[in-house]
Structure 1
Amino acid sequence: MNRDRSLEDLECDRWPSPLGDETRLVATVLELRGKPVGDLTVEDLRLLIGQSVGLVHLLPLAVDILQRDPLAEGDMYEGDLLAAVLSKGSPAMLFPGHPHAHRRYRAGDFPVAEHTHAHTIKLPVWHREQDRPLAEQYIRAAIKVSDHHKELL
């Protein structure tokens, strides 16, 4: 794959330019589709993969990064790129038709990252002001559990 080309070029598919009334997420995705894939950061990859954009081109790039750094981190948390990749399915699903898909990644290849992912609490990211009270309830509950964890065991 030519890493100097954008997703728009690789997929021969130009999405409409932002009109100005998009959410920040949509505007970011539209912008990143025009960026050369070789210039995409871990956060860019996490975001695009999380939105199921350009998977056939981006998953191999993400796996290359994860082989060097299983806990590669975007803007969310340590291991968030791995979480995004794993959320898209099994290796065979992620790399359909690739003759060596089953060799790219198998359970156990990244034991520390897999353990971290399996034992990390995952909560949605809130973008609306009206969700703030719910987010604060989750935070208070997590602190309460943490403060009393020995009693819960």
Structure 2
Amino acid sequence: MKIGELANRTGCPVETIRYYEREGLLPAPKRSAGNYRQYDASHEERLLFIRHCRSLDMTQDEIRTLLALRDRPDADCGAANQLIEEHLHHVEVRIAELHSLRSQLKDLRNQCSGAGASEACGILRELQQPGVPQVASEDCAHAGHLHVPGVHRRG
């Protein structure tokens, strides 16, 4: 099948398929005499696996690890279990960070009545205060990475 058909069958944009090929997540397909990519069922299965992992917010490195395990049926599945355990921890840390963020935003919202001149706005006044609130949790520091709002994990 051509790349457009693979895209339609998997719900994955053509550009993303090409990206996964460049990143080595999806093996390069054979080429036709006209130099068109020719995908087969194994590409479709692998792409669906990758998309499922991405729907669980897994990083490319995590997906690579799981694909390597999938490609070696005799490999110990303990590595997959450990990977999911670590990913679950990252999700739990991010949920705690989001709860903290929500609380900070509610506190900020309570600084303004929603009416009046912007020069008297409590939100704007509060945002002008020196220092930035810390959102990173202690777990993040122990996990060996820095917290950047909106981007939690490396990889």
* Alignment TM-score > 0.5, same fold: no
- Considering only CA atoms, is the larger Rg found in Structure 1 or Structure 2? 2
Q: Structure 2-normalised TM-score?
A: 0.29
